[in-house]
Every structure is written in structure tokens, then in C-alpha cells.
Amino acid sequence: MSIEPRSPPPQFAFRLKRALGGRAGWGGFALQILFVAALAWIAYEIVENARANLAAQRITSGFGFLRNTAGFDVSQNLIPYSGSDTYTRVFFVGLLNTLLVSIIGIFFATVIGFMVALGRLSPNWLLSRISGGYVELIRNLPLLFQILFWYLAVLAALPKPQQSISMFGLVFLSNRGLVIPKPIADPGLDPFALAILVAIVASLLLQRYARRALFESGRMIAIWPYVVGLLIGLPLLTALIFGKPVTFEIPELKGFNFSGGSRLIPEFVALTLALSMYTAAFIAEIVRAGIQSVHKGQMEAGASLGLSRGTTLRLIVVPQALRVILPPLTNQYLNLTKNSSLAVAIGYPDLVSVFAGTTLSQTGQAIEIIAITMGVYLLISLVTSAIMSFYGWRISRSLAA
Amino acid sequence: MKRVSLVFTLALAAGLSSGAASAQTLKTVTDRGMLSCGVSAGLPGFSAPDDKGNWTGIDVDVCRAIAAVIFNDPTKVKFVPLSAKDRFTALQSGEIDVLSRNTTWTLSRDTSLGANFTGVTYYDGQGFLVKKSLKVNSALELNSASVCVQTGTTTEQNLADYFKSNNMKYEVIAFASADETVKAYESGRCDVFTSDVSQLYAERLKLASPADHVVLPEVISKEPLGPMVRHGDDQWFDLVKWTLFAMIDAEELGITQKNADDMAKSDKPELKRVFGTDGNLGEQLGVTKDWVSRIIKAVGNYGEAFDRNVGAGSKLQIARGLNQLWNKGGIQYAPPIR
């Protein structure tokens, strides 16, 4: 029986020294402490001086203004809002408008971006040249210019509400935006919504069943007729039994504008169009790079298995490409969100426009408001990054499995 | 716009955190050799660069008058064009020495912004501009209209009040600059453009066919427009305040750009005080004795500045109205120089 040489006892103090001070030891540690203390002192001095000087000039400071009445109106509010609400409410109205345009913009930018990338990689000469032309044209023009183009050149050229383009007397397009009938809930809505939910859950279960059948016994089951039947048939059936789920409020022209119905304001449309088309050009290049980073042999392997080009892309190439695509894609999502603050140029009431603009000017509390606004953009960006990281983690896990 | 206000905010944070706020604006301005004056980015009659790049307008003349008092040279002004929503931050941060930018005097602006109004350059009120083809004769017929307005103005709040108190619905589209607002109005995005009446007349001149647009008769608010300075420097406050008062008093006394030199030789005790041949009123303000004649030689009296920029001698052709002197039917009234 051999005796293993005993490892020396862990030198706790030594490890701590290395961990805190790096190679420089305790000296490095002291230096770090000093550095942090100096930073803290500078920050403290800045805050204290600002506070003292604000007081000396008798500029109101603090966050009490958030409880004051705003006294101005906003053209698009997702939550009920009127001029007699507080600045806090204005903040949320602006924040929701920013989030709305960002989320919808990200959705369309991703869809257009993927389509353009696939088009650019397509063996079809015309399609690939058109996609290439799109990328080169859009990404080389300033974003603000594109926003103004959509707003002032395209949407402003639409006819006046009195001469609006009407579709079946239900949908109206004019320079005041797109007016559509507004759904109003009827008693039949609850069972209707429930039926849709049931149909979705059933479809997902069906898909799982078909997958298992494919992997375990190699049977291909075409589930789409059942899915269509479920998704359309079930809600239709409940509507027949419980009565129609919604009635539509038809917009009609009264005075200067349409009353009734829901409306997409042109500022929103112009901003969403410009943001998603601009970002899509960058996403297209990212996706193209990602797909091309996957070895050619993968595509050939798919082809030799008898899979079509589309199926090979969807099942084999894109999942591998996503690992490369995700980090720069996250950057583009963050850019789009931050670029949405250009809304102020065309009067879309986003956070920067109504809060860091109007509210700042009315209250004069620049430091507080800019700090809040910066904090909010930071938070939105961090949340977006976190979601994308989580998605990336899931993909690499499923690829590793 | 966002970047501009961010720059000012950072400047504000930096300016406020670097030692004591400078209470000696006059000394700072004298040392710099230049007055920094915040004006509107382009509002004919009030402040706008002409075709040679010279700034003109009644707000501009107030700045030139202050420069004349300090340097005896009305050209020693650096004009800083500001949007409505950036103007106060620029003043607070010390970027400008005085804000002379058709700004309405209100209680909250006079207190919580850390600034003081020094007087009233122009008594204005808010009105509405509409296309003649709409056949609207009164603001009360504007129910359901879309209204274009410049953000960060009292206009935006008056608008909300007016439509609410008259039980009318409307859609507001607020833009950061006056140019964008007018462009949206002209493109048909809005039925109505609302602002101070003087501004409506000025902007109407810039439209493709001014005759197709009409200013509605209703004036829905009081908009006394005047210069602003920072809190905490009473000497500077007095100087800016009395520069405007001197222009108004000069008109009342009949002193004009042309006759200023002759009037200065007058024996009348009142004129001797004004021209500094008797007493030391100018020195009490911290400037030279001949401060009034410097102002008048540079920009003329209040009436002359008014006529040249917005009144009969200008394209705007705005009547004196409320801005006539108190003894001629208006409400312009300055405390006596003595």
C-alpha cells in the first residue's frame, strides 16, 4: 500500500491575496481600494456640487414633479390618458409608445432581414441582385433621412380624409393614417377566445405526437389538415352556439376626421417602416454571414438526403447559423430600440419626445428627466440582451444535445 | 433634437458641478468680449437670419441693445438658435447669458426653472391658422380637427385647456421645431396650426401661397413674451431689465436713432438724466453714463425696433395694438429712468 504524498494545506491567505490583488499582491489590492475610493469621492463631489448650485439658483430639483399635472395631450396613447393626468402617466404613455414601435419594428426587421438574406444567397440571379441592391441602398442612407422620406414624401402624399381611399367602406386610408373598424367585445367573446386557446393547445399536442411518430417509427403524419380544422372550425362552432364574439364599430367621416374605428397614425407607420427597413438591411448581412459560416458540406449532406433546399436551410443550416447570428443580431435589436428616439423629428410621441422633450421643457428638471430616460433605455437594452442570451443558450444546448 | 438637449444637460451637470455658479455674468461677458444670446432658430420679425446671414428681429434687437450697453458695439453678440424645448436648459447651463426667444412669462417658468423674466418685449396671444378652403370662421368650429403644435410651449397646454373647456375633441401632433410643425401643417397632416398670433403671421409668409390661409379671430390666451436671465445675479438682471425699459422710455420721450445726438445736448432735466450728462444712473447699473444713447444709436427706441421688425416697416405689417405705449392706447409701460 503506497502512501500518496499529501498536498500542502491550502494557503488561504495567499489565495485571497492573489484573488484581490492579482500578481501585485497586497500592494495591488491597496491600489484598487484607493482607485475605488477616488471614484466614489469624485461622484460624491459632482452630486453635492450640483445639488448646492441647483439650490443656489433656486432651480427646482427632486422627483416631486412626477405627481404634477401634465396639462398637454398626446396623439397616441395605449393606456387611457388626458391632459389632466400626471407626468408619471406621460412617462408610461411615452414608454409604451417606444416599446410598441420597437417590438413591431424588431419583428418586421427580422422577417425582412431573413428574407433578404435568403434572397441574396438564392441561386436565382434576379432575386439575389435585387436583395443585394436593397441592402446597399438602404444601409447607406441616413436613417433620419429615411424616416422623413416615408413621412413627408410618401405618407403625406396620401389624399385628405374627405377624399380618402376606401376599401369596401370599412377601411380608409388618408394622410391622417389608416382607419379600420374597431372590434368591440360581445358576450360571445369569452367562449370564442377559449375555443382558440383549446385549438392552439391541441395543435401543439398534435405536433408533438407527429414528431414522436417520425423519430420513433419513421412514420410521416401530415397534421396540417387537422390543425386548420381545429383553428378555424372550433372557434366557428362556438361562435354559432354562443353568438358572434365581437361587433365592429365602423369608422365614419365626421367633420375634419374619422370618428369611431381604430387608427394607425402616419407618424407610427412612417417610423415603423423606416426603422424596420433600415435595420433589416443590416440583419440581412448578419444572417448571410451566419449562413455562409456553416460549412458547405452541410447543405450538400441535406441535398444528398433528398431534402429540398428550403427544408435543408430550415432544419440543418439555420439552426447552426443562429449561433453566429445571435450576438450581432442582438446589437441590431438594441440599435433599433435606441434609434426609435428619432421619432421626435416627425412628431411620434415616444419616450424622448413626450418625456425628455415636452416634460423636460415644462418642468425644467433636466438632470432628473435625462437620468430617468437614460436609465429606462439602459433597462430596455439589458432586458433585450438577456432575452437574446437566454435564446442563444437554449440553441447551443439543443445543438449540443 | 435629442442630442442637443442631451448636450445641454451634460453641460448643465458639468456647469453646476464645477465650483460655484458664476454670479458675475456682466464680468464674464465683458471678459469674453461677446454676449451669448439665445434666440429662435428662425421666426421672421423676432429672430431670423437675413439673406446675408445677419440676425434681425425684435428679440435680436434686445440682444444687440444689451451688447451696445456693454461694448458700445451691437455686433458683439453670438446668437445661439434654440428650439422651444431646449431653451431653458441652455439658459440654466450657462450656455447663453440671456434668453430672448419669444418666451411666454408664466409663474412656473419664473420660479422653478431658476430664471427670471426681465420684462415684456411683445404682448401676444394664441391663435389658430387654418386653410381658407375649410370655410371655418371660428375656433369653436374646430371640433374633431387635427392640430399641429410646437412642443415645449405654453401653446401646447393652452390648446389642451381650450378644447377641454369647450368640450371639443381634437388630435394633437407635436413637433420639436417650428419648421417641422409648419411643414406638417402645409402637407395636410393637420387642419390647424396653432401658435402665438405674431408667429402665425410670420409663418404664414413662409407658406407657398399665404393668401390661402387665414388666422381665426379668437385669441385664446395671454402670451407676454420677454427676455429671461438666470437666478442669482441681480446686477445682470437689472441690466437686461433696464435695457428694455430704456428703449420703451426713449420712445415715450421722443428719442429716436436720428435725433439722439441732438436730444443729448438738451437742457431738460429728464433728458439729462437719461443721457447721463447729469447724475450717474448708468454707473449704478454697472455700465457707462451714456448707456441709453448707446442703445438708441444701435437699435433705436422700442417703437422704431417694433416698426422695423414686425410693424408697418416690415413684411409682417402687425399693428401696434397692445404693444402701443400706455399713453397712446396700448399697455407698454416702463418705469421712469431717474
pLDDT of A400 > 90? The answer is no
Determine contact, residues B249/B65, Cβ cutoff 8 Å.
Answer: no
**Residue A8 pLDDT more than 80?**
no
CA dihedral in degrees (B241, B242, B248, B251; nearest 10)?
A: -160
Q: What distances in angstroms separate CA A163 from CA A167, A274, A330, one per listed residue?
A: 12, 26, 43
Q: Which of B193, B186, B192, B194 is nearest to B223 (CA)?
A: B194
* Percentage of chain B lying above the pLDDT 90 cut: 79
DSSP 8-state assignment for residue A118: H
The beta-carbon neighbor of A358 closest among B17, B85, B159 is B85
Which DSSP string corresponds to B277-321? SSS-HHHHHTS-TTHHHHHHHHH--HHHHHHHHTSTTSSS----G
Is A46 in contact with B151 (Cβ distance < 8 A)? no
Q: Which of residues 35 through 54 in chain A touch B, CB cutoff 8 A?
A: 45-47, 49-50, 53-54
- Determine contact: B178 vs chain A, CB below 8 A: no
Res A22: pLDDT: 67
Q: What is the mean pLDDT of residues B205-210?
A: 90
What average pLDDT does the segment B259-280 reach?
92
Mean pLDDT of chain A: 88
- Which of these, A363, A57, A369, A362, lies nearest to B16 by C-alpha position? A57
Nearest to B310 by CA among B329, B292, B323: B323
Per-residue pLDDT of A12-36, as tens digits, reads: 777 777 777 667 777 778 888 899 9
Q: Report the complex ipTM.
A: 0.83
Describe chain B by its helix, strand, coil percentages, rounded to 5: 45, 20, 40
Cβ atoms of B160 and A72 within 8 Å: the answer is yes
Say what the pLDDT of residue B1 is.
Answer: 43
* pLDDT at residue B21 in the model: 46
Superfamily (CATH) of domain B126-221: Periplasmic binding protein-like II (3.40.190.10)
In chain A, residues with a C-beta closer than 8 Å to the C-beta of B171 are: 75, 176, 257
Inform me whether the pLDDT recorded for B187 exceeds 80: yes
Contact A278, A187 (CB under 8 A): no
Inter-chain contact A71–B161, Cβ cutoff 8 Å? yes
Q: Look at B201 and B9; give whichever has higher pLDDT.
A: B201
Paired sense of beta strands A257-259 and B223-225, if any: unpaired
Q: Could you give the CA distance from residue A204 to residue A201 in angstroms, rounded to a whole number?
A: 5
Chain A residue numbers touching B184 (CB-CB < 8 A): 156, 347
Residues 6+ apart with CB under 8 A from A381: A334, A337, A338
Chain A residue numbers with beta carbons less than 8 Å from the beta carbon of B17 are 45-47, 49-50, 53
Contact A361 B84 (CB under 8 A): yes
Is A59 near chain B, with CB under 8 Å? yes
pLDDT in tens, A377-395: 999 999 999 999 999 888 8
**Rounded CA gap, B287 and B293, in Å?**
12
User: What residue type is assigned to position B149 of the chain?
Assistant: V
One-letter identity of residue B272: K
Confidence of residue B18 (pLDDT cuts 50, 70, 90): very low
- Tell me the β-bridge partners of A179: A172, A263
The secondary structure of residue B141, as a DSSP letter, is: G
Residue numbers of B between 42 and 71 with CB closer than 8 Å to A: none
Residue B220 above 90 pLDDT? Answer: yes
In chain B, which residue's Cα lies nearest the Cα of A155?
Answer: B189
Residues of chain B with CATH 3.40.190.10: 2-123+225-328, 126-221
**Looking at B150-154, B159-163, B210-214, which range is the least confident one?**
B150-154
Banded model confidence at residue A214, pLDDT cuts 50, 70, 90: confident
DSSP A160: P
H and E: helices and strands count for chain A: 15, 8
Q: How confident is the model at residue A83 (pLDDT cuts 50, 70, 90)?
A: confident
Distance of alpha carbon A375 from alpha carbon A335, whole angstroms: 16
- What rounded mean pLDDT belongs to chain B? 91
Q: Which helix (H) or strand (E) holds B204?
A: helix B197-206
pLDDT of residue A72: 92
Q: Residues A283, A113: contact at Cβ < 8 Å?
A: yes
Cell digits for A39? 471614484
pLDDT at A398 over 50: yes
Per-residue pLDDT at B4? 54
**Mutation target among B9, B25, B108, B236 for the A interface, most CBs of A within 10 A:** B9
Distance CA A273, CA A137 (A): 15
- State residue A110's pLDDT score: 96
C-alpha cell at A150: 416615408
Of A84-93, A225-234, A312-321, B79-88, the poorest mean pLDDT is in A225-234
Q: Report, as an integer, the average pLDDT of B308-325.
A: 93
Q: Are strands B213-215 and B126-131 parallel, antiparallel or unpaired?
A: antiparallel
CATH of domain B2-123+225-328: 3.40.190.10
| Cα angle value B38/B40/B46 (rounded, 5°) | 110
| B137 close to A (CB below 8 A) | no
User: Does residue A210 or residue B193 have the better pLDDT?
Assistant: B193
Confidence of residue B8 (pLDDT cuts 50, 70, 90): low
In order of start, what are the domains of chain A with their CATH numbers? 87-145+269-400 (1.10.3720.10)
**A4: which DSSP letter?**
P
Q: Taking residues A252-259, what's their average pLDDT? A: 82
b/e per residue, A310-323, with b = 16+ CB within 10 A?
eebbeebbbebbbe
- Residue A52, Cβ neighbours under 10 Å: how many? 14
Higher pLDDT, B252 or A223: B252
Cα B219 to Cα B199: distance, rounded to the nearest angstrom = 13
Task: Using the predicted structure, report yes or no on whether residue A121 has a pLDDT greater than 60.
Answer: yes
The beta strands (E) that lie in chain B are given as 35-40, 48-49, 55-56, 77-82, 98-99, 115-117, 122-124, 126-131, 145-150, 170-175, 192-196, 213-215, 223-225, 228-230
Residue A88 to residue B134: CA distance in whole angstroms: 38
Q: How far apart are CA B227 and CA B116, in angstroms?
A: 8
A366·B151 Cβ contact <8 A? no
pLDDT at B20 over 70: no
Is residue A373 within 8 angstroms of chain B, CB to CB? no
The answer to whether residue B200 scores a pLDDT higher than 50 is yes
Phi, psi at B150, each rounded to 5°: -90, 135
B333: distance to nearest CA of chain A, Å? 29
Contact B274, B255 (CB under 8 A): yes
Percent of residues, chain B, with pLDDT higher than 70: 93
Closest CA to A346 of A258, A274, A257, A259: A274
What is the model's pLDDT at position B19? 40
Q: What is the rounded distance in angstroms from the CA atom of residue B199 to the CA atom of residue B60?
A: 15
> How far is A207 from B126, CA to CA, in rounded Å?
64
Whether A363 shows a pLDDT value over 70: the answer reads: yes
- As given in the structure block, the three cell numbers for residue A23 are 500578481
Whether the pLDDT of residue B3 is over 60: the answer is: no
pLDDT value at residue A221: 77
Strand bridging mode A252-254 / B126-131: unpaired
The torsion region of residue A71 among left (phi > 0), alpha (psi -120 to 50) and beta comes to left
Higher local confidence (pLDDT), A73 or A235: A73
pTM score: 0.84
